[in-house]
C-alpha cells in the first residue's frame, strides 16, 4: 500500500531508499532458494535476475559511470537490458504469453507474463533515477513470491489464482494515483526535464548520448543521428522551422490565441535531437517552454506498437502487441472509476499548468520493417463487458481532459521523416521527404481552392475504385445557407498536418452510404490486407479484412484496432489528398507500404472513422484563406455534445486512404443533377488542377 502522502519530501526519500534496499536484498536471495516447485522457482529466479540487472542500471546511472562508458560498452549494456524480449530470444521469454503459459499453465502463466511485462518498467525508472517506480515493482515481485510460501494455498502447494489476481489488482489500483500525477506532470510541467536535458546539454556529435535515455538503440537511431550531424546547420534549421511554424500557424488558422499558451509538448524518436534542439529554441522565441515525456512502458501508461512520447527502437513489436490489453486482468467498474478520479485529481493539482498548455508537436518516423502481428490466445484480451468499460472510460477521460485543456484553445502539429530501415536509398529518400515537407503551400492553396469551389456546388460526392478496389461510396455534404460566405471544406496546407495537400470536411451521416475498400494499408503501425468497411447513414455497419484465416479473427482485428472496441463508429471525415509529389516519391522508391498515414492521406481521397477533425473545438469559427467560414464541423453524432457529451465523442480518428492508382472516379453531384468530375482514373481532371498531374509525368508539382 502507498505510504502516508503527508510526510516530508526528505522523509519520503529516506523511506523509499530503505524500502528499495530491503527489497533488493531479499530479491538477491531468490535465485539460490528452492521454496516453490521447480517451474515456478525457475520463473522467480529469472525475474530476480532481471530486477538485479535493473538495479545494476540504477547504480551505473547514479554513480555517473554511464557517461564514462565507451560507445561499445554502452551498446553491450543496452543490448543486455533488452535481450530477453528481442525476437531471437522471445520464444523462451516469460514476456511471451505463449511461453509463460506453456511453462506454468494458463491461469498463472498469463499472470506471470503480465508481471514480467510490468517489471520491465524498471529500466526507464533506473535511467530517470525514479526510485519510487523501482520500489513498487520490486515489492510487487516479492509479494507474488510470498504468495507461494504463504498460507492461502491449494492442496498442490500452489496459491489460488484469485489470490495472485488480487495482488496484481491492488497493485494497479493503489498506484494509479501517483502514476497519473507523474504522467500529467510530465506533459504539463517544464521542470520535469529528464529528456530535455539530454537534448539541450549533450554533445550531439558524440552518439553515446543516445544511450542515456535507457531506450533500446539500434542502427536506425545511430544512423539517423549521424545523418543529421552531417547536415549543414541551415538545413537542420529548415527542418525545425517547418515543424515549429506548422505549430504556430495551426493556432492562427484555427482562430486560436497562442499568446495565452506557455507550454508545448514535443514528441519524437531518438536520433532527431539536433532538429529537436533547434525546435526547442524556436518555441522559446515564441514564448513556449517545452515538455517531453517517455512513451508508455507499463500498465498505467499503456503499451502500444504505436508510440506516443519520446521513444527509441522497439525491441519487439510483438511483445507490445501481446501486452496491449493487459488491463483485462484487472479492469472492472471500480478500477475504471478510480482511474477517472485519479486523472481528475491530477488535473486539479496541475490546473494552472493545464490552462496554459498549447498541445503536442509530434515528429513521427516511418520506414521500419512492416509488422504483421500474431494474435495469441494466451494473451490477455478484453471481454465484451470490459470493452464497453474501456470505451466509456476513454470517452469520459477525453471529456475530462477537455474540461482542463479546452479543445477550442489548443492545437498541434505533426511531421514525419524516414529512418534508415527504409532501405539503401535512405539519404535520397530523406531528402525527398524534406522536399515534400517544404513544398510551396501557396501553389497548393490556390489549386485546392478550385477543388473546394467545385465541391461546394454539390449535394454529394461519389468515390469509386478501379481494378481490384471495390470502393463505392456516396458522401453527403452539408447544405450551404450562404454559399458566398460559407464552405464545406477546409483548405489545408502546411500547418497542423505537414506536408501540404488536402481539402477535408465533416460530412453529414444521413445519406452517406456504401463500401470503402483498400487492398493494402498500414494504420497505426499495423498492416491490413483487403480491408473493407460498409457504411449505412454514415455509420459502420459491417467490416472485414484478409489478414487471418477466419472471418472472426479478421473482424476482431478491426474491432480492436480500428473501431477501438466500439460496436460502430461514424464517418468523421472525408478528404481529398492533392500531394501527387508524395505519391510519386513513394512509387519511385517502392515505399508505399512504409509511408505514414500523415503523408499517405495526402496521396488520394481518405476517410476517417471516429471523431471529426474539429472534435471539442466545433464552436470556434474557422475561415479559409478566401474568407469563407467553414460550417461543416459537426455531424449528427457530434452535435449530441450539447445534450449528452458521452455520446458525442469516441476518442479515436483513423484515416484510411485510397491511393490514386486504385481510384476510378471522384465526382461531385450538384442539385441540378450535373456530375462534376474531379479525378478520373487516378488523375485530376478538374480545370485548374493540371499542375497536380505534372508529378505523374516525372516533373515536380
pLDDT digits (tens, 9 = 90+) for 581-598: 999 999 999 998 888 888
Give me the percent of the chain exceeding a pLDDT of 90: 82
Residue 153 reports pLDDT greater than 80: no
| β-bridge pairing 486-487 and 629-630 | parallel
Q: What is the mean pLDDT of the chain?
A: 93
- Evaluate if pTM is beyond 0.85: yes
CA 300/CA 153 separation, integer angstroms:
29
CA 509/CA 502 separation, integer angstroms:
21
- The residues near 151 (Cβ < 8 Å, ≥ 6 apart) are none
Beta carbons of 637 and 609 less than 8 angstroms apart? no
CA 88/CA 80 separation, integer angstroms:
13
What would the mean pLDDT of 671-676 be, rounded to a whole number?
92
CA 110/CA 83 separation, integer angstroms:
21
Q: How far apart are the first and last CA of the chain?
A: 62
- Helices 219-230/426-437 angle, 10° precision: 60
What are the residues facing 158 on neighbouring strands?
Answer: none
Largest CA distance in the chain: 85
What are the residues facing 605 on neighbouring strands?
Answer: 576
Predicted pLDDT at 5 = 52
For residue 29, give Cα distances in angstroms to 24, 49, 58, 94, 655.
9, 10, 19, 20, 52
Predicted pLDDT at 6 = 66
Residue 669 CB neighbours (<10 A): 17
CA 701/CA 692 separation, integer angstroms:
6
Higher pLDDT, 568 or 158: 568
Q: Which three cell numbers stand for residue 248?
A: 504556430
pLDDT tier at 616, thresholds 50, 70, 90:
confident
CA 662/CA 318 separation, integer angstroms:
31
Give me the percent of the chain exceeding a pLDDT of 70: 97
CA 152/CA 106 separation, integer angstroms:
20
Residue 255 reports pLDDT greater than 90: no
pLDDT tier at 700, thresholds 50, 70, 90:
very low
Residue 149 reports pLDDT greater than 70: yes
Q: How far is CA 285 from the centre of its chain?
A: 28
Residue 648 reports pLDDT greater than 60: yes
64-95 pLDDT, tens digit each: 999 999 999 999 999 999 999 999 999 999 99
Predicted pLDDT at 440 = 84
Q: Give the helix, strand, coil percentages of the chain, each rounded to 5.
A: 50, 20, 35
Q: Which three cell numbers stand for residue 281?
A: 529554441
Q: Is the dihedral of CA 305, 311, 314, 315 positive or negative?
A: negative
pLDDT tier at 498, thresholds 50, 70, 90:
confident
Predicted pLDDT at 598 = 85
Q: Which three cell numbers stand for residue 468?
A: 481490384
CA 145/CA 139 separation, integer angstroms:
10
Predicted pLDDT at 157 = 65
Q: Which three cell numbers stand for residue 107?
A: 491461469
Residue 473 reports pLDDT greater than 80: yes
Beta carbons of 31 and 41 less than 8 angstroms apart? no
The closest of 151, 117, 122, 147 to 134, measured between CA atoms, is: 122
Give the ranges where 536-623 is alpha helix by DSSP (H). Answer: 551-561, 580-589, 597-600
CA 338/CA 343 separation, integer angstroms:
8
pLDDT tier at 526, thresholds 50, 70, 90:
confident
Beta carbons of 40 and 20 less than 8 angstroms apart? no
Predicted pLDDT at 158 = 79
Give the ranges where 300-425 is alpha helix by DSSP (H). Answer: 317-322, 333-349, 351-355, 384-404
20-29 pLDDT, tens digit each: 999 999 999 9
CA 298/CA 576 separation, integer angstroms:
38
- The residues near 66 (Cβ < 8 Å, ≥ 6 apart) are 60, 74, 211, 212
Q: State yes or no: cis peptide before 499, omega within 30 of 0.
A: yes
For residue 564, give Cα distances in angstroms to 337, 387, 524.
20, 9, 12
CA atoms lying within 13 Å on the CB side of residue 74: 23
E strand or H helix that includes residue 220? helix 219-230
Q: Which three cell numbers stand for residue 14?
A: 529516506
pLDDT tier at 1, thresholds 50, 70, 90:
very low
- The residues near 25 (Cβ < 8 Å, ≥ 6 apart) are none
Amino acid at each position: 500500500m502507498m505510504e502516508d502522502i503527508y510526510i516530508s519530501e526528505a522523509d519520503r526519500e529516506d523511506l523509499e531508499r530503505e524500502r528499495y534496499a530491503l527489497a533488493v536484498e531479499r530479491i538477491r536471495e531468490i535465485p539460490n532458494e528452492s521454496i516453490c516447485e521447480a517451474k515456478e522457482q525457475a520463473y522467480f529466479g529469472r525475474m530476480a535476475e532481471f530486477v538485479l540487472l535493473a538495479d545494476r542500471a540504477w547504480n551505473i546511472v547514479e554513480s555517473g559511470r554511464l557517461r564514462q562508458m565507451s560507445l561499445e560498452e554502452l551498446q553491450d549494456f543496452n543490448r543486455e537490458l533488452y535481450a530477453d524480449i528481442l525476437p531471437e530470444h522471445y520464444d523462451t521469454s516469460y514476456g511471451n504469453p505463449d511461453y509463460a503459459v506453456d511453462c506454468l499453465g494458463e491461469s498463472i502463466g498469463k499472470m506471470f507474463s503480465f508481471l514480467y511485462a510490468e517489471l520491465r518498467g524498471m529500466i526507464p525508472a533506473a535511467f530517470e533515477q525514479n526510485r519510487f517506480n523501482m520500489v513498487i515493482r520490486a515489492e510487487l515481485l516479492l509479494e507474488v513470491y510470498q504468495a507461494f510460501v504463504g498460507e492461502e494455498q491449494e492442496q498442490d502447494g500452489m496459491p489460488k489464482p484469485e489470490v495472485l489476481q488480487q495482488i496484481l489488482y491492488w497493485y494497479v489500483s493503489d498506484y494509479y494515483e501517483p502514476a497519473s500525477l507523474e504522467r500529467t506532470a510530465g506533459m504539463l510541467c517544464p521542470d520535469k526535464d529528464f529528456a530535455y536535458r539530454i537534448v539541450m546539454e549533450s554533445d550531439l556529435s558524440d552518439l553515446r548520448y543516445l544511450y542515456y535515455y535507457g531506450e533500446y538503440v539500434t542502427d536506425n537511431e545511430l544512423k539517423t543521428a549521424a545523418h543529421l550531424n552531417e547536415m549543414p546547420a541551415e538545413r537542420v534549421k529548415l527542418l525545425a522551422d517547418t515543424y515549429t511554424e506548422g505549430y504556430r500557424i495551426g493556432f492562427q488558422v484555427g482562430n486560436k490565441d497562442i499568446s495565452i499558451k506557455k507550454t508545448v509538448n514535443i514528441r519524437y524518436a531518438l536520433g532527431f535531437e539536433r532538429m529537436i534542439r533547434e525546435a526547442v529554441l524556436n518555441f522559446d522565441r515564441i514564448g513556449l517552454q517545452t515538455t517531453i515525456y517517455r512513451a508508455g512502458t507499463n500498465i498505467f501508461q499503456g503499451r502500444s506498437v504505436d508510440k506516443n512520447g519520446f521513444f527509441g527502437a522497439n525491441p519487439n513489436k510483438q511483445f507490445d502487441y501481446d501486452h496491449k490489453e493487459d488491463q483485462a486482468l484487472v479492469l472492472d467498474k471500480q478500477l475504471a472509476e478510480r482511474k477517472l478520479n485519479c486523472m481528475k485529481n491530477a488535473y486539479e493539482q496541475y490546473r494552472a499548468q493545464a490552462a496554459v498548455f498549447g498541445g503536442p508537436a509530434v515528429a513521427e518516423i516511418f520506414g521500419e520493417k512492416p509488422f504483421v502481428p500474431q494474435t495469441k490466445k494466451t494473451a490477455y484480451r478484453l471481454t465484451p463487458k470490459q470493452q464497453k468499460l474501456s470505451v466509456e472510460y476513454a470517452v469520459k477521460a477525453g471529456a475530462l481532459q477537455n474540461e482542463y485543456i479546452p479543445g477550442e484553445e489548443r492545437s498541434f502539429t505533426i511531421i514525419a521523416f524516414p529512418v534508415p530501415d527504409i532501405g539503401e536509398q535512405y539519404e535520397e529518400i530523406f531528402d525527398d521527404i524534406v522536399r515534400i515537407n517544404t513544398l510551396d503551400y501557396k501553389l497548393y492553396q490556390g489549386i485546392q481552392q478550385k477543388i473546394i469551389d467545385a465541391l461546394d456546388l454539390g449535394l454529394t460526392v461519389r468515390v469509386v475504385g478501379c481494378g481490384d478496389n471495390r470502393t463505392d461510396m456516396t458522401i453527403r455534404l452539408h447544405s450551404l445557407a450562404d454559399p458566398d460566405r460559407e464552405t464545406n471544406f477546409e483548405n489545408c496546407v502546411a500547418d497542423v498536418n505537414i506536408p501540404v495537400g488536402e481539402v477535408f470536411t465533416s460530412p453529414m451521416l444521413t445519406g452517406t452510404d456504401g463500401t470503402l475498400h483498400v487492398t493494402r494499408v498500414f494504420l497505426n503501425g499495423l498492416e491490413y490486407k483487403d480491408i473493407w468497411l460498409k457504411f449505412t447513414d454514415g455509420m459502420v455497419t459491417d467490416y472485414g479484412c484478409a489478414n487471418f484465416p477466419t472471418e472472426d479473427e479478421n473482424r476482431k482485428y478491426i474491432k480492436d484496432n480500428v473501431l477501438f472496441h466500439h460496436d460502430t463508429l461514424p464517418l468523421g471525415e472525408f478528404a481529398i489528398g492533392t500531394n501527387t509529389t508524395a505519391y510519386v516519391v513513394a512509387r519511385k522508391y517502392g515505399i508505399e507500404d512504409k509511408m505514414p498515414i500523415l503523408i499517405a492521406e495526402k496521396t488520394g481521397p481518405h476517410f476517417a472513422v471516429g471523431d471529426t477533425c474539429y472534435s471539442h473545438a466545433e464552436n470556434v469559427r474557422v475561415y479559409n484563406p478566401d474568407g469563407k467560414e467553414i460550417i461543416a464541423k459537426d455531424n449528427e453524432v457530434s452535435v449530441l455534445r450539447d445534450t449528452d457529451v458521452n455520446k458525442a465523442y469516441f476518442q479515436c480518428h483513423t484515416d484510411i486512404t485510397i491511393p490514386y492508382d486504385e481510384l476510378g472516379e471522384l465526382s461531385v453531384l450538384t442539385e441540378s443533377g450535373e456530375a462534376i468530375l474531379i479525378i478520373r482514373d487516378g488523375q485530376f481532371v478538374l480545370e485548374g488542377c493540371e499542375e497536380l498531374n505534372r508529378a505523374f509525368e516525372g516533373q515536380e508539382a
